[in-house]
Copies of this chain bind each other. A is one copy, B any other.
């Protein structure tokens, strides 16, 4: 059906080009994004074999990664991380930070203040290493008794100031929607995007994770289109949360969405490696698989 699929989308241009593949009514003109999307591949360091940061970065460079996602341990160790990556062609992207025990949405004002201070530390660190942002989860299931309504209202009230701080240190918050087994609040990209719109700060944006999306989204394409310009990071994992290509999970429909929104940031491994397989063989195969999926999108 390749030809038909293309013809369907080409209807408008086909008519313009004097071809008659399908009636004009079959054409759908979706606006061209400001910039052509790019596939920049990255990984969390934990996915990469190696005993030291230098060894991991060396392997990643050799395998052709474009970027590196770091954990909270970068905070206070920025120079060490900057020195280690200086001799590679790679850049750091997101800091995978988390929920801070749900402190920022706690009923306890003291805990909320503590949480905000810690997030600000992470944002400063993110600015120093030129990260795309700090991945933030409002609350995992056991961390809150608040309703979605209460949490959403609290975020919309408190995050404009945090966003302003994020911009002042050259970074941003990245809300991460999770699946129902990890969080009930914030499970879909469209919801995260509407919260970002309400907060209305360039310092408060969002991400998507193919593993959670498989559980919560009915359309990867629809989800990324709803995320639109708020999307600044993507996590890559298969259906069973191993390396892309190690099970049947397709990335093509999601990659169509990234192409249609002109996505400019990183797609980063947050996953395991299928039992009994060797990361040294499987990681390069997964990168190749993803480039093929991007070409198909």
Contacts and interface: CB of A to CB of B under 8 A. Distances in A.
Contact of A2 (B29, B184, B191, B230): B29
A221 B190 contact: no
A4 interface: yes
A6 interface: yes
A217 B227 CA distance: 10
Given A9-B29, A256-B28, A259-B28, A226 B230 contact: no
Given A28-B260, A148-B149, A194 B222 contact: no
Interface in A236-293: 256, 259-260
7 contacts: A2-B29, A3-B16, A7-B13, A9-B12, A28-B30, A28-B260, A189-B190
A10 B1 contact: no
Nearest to A195: B218
A179 to B, nearest CB: 11
Contacts of A223: 190, 222, 226
B219 A194 contact: no
Interface string A174-217: 00000000001001111101100100000000000000000011
Interface stretch (A18-26, A94-102, A130-138): A18-26
> Which of A29, A217, A256 is the most central at the interface, judged by chain B CB atoms within 10 Å of its CB?
A29
A224 B230 CA distance: 19
A32 interface: yes
Nearest to A7: B13
A110 interface: no
A: contact size bracket: 35 or more
Given A148-B147, A188-B191, A194-B188, A225 B230 contact: no
Contact of A230 (B19, B216, B218): B218
The 3 A-B residue pairs whose C-beta atoms are closest, nearest first, are A10-B13, A222-B225, A222-B226
Nearest to A15: B6
A109 interface: no
B13 A29 contact: no
B16 A12 contact: no
Contacts of A190: 188-191, 217-219, 222-223, 226
B6 A221 contact: no
A36 interface: yes
A8 interface: yes
A17 interface: yes
Contact of A222 (B12, B32, B228): B228
Nearest to A21: B13
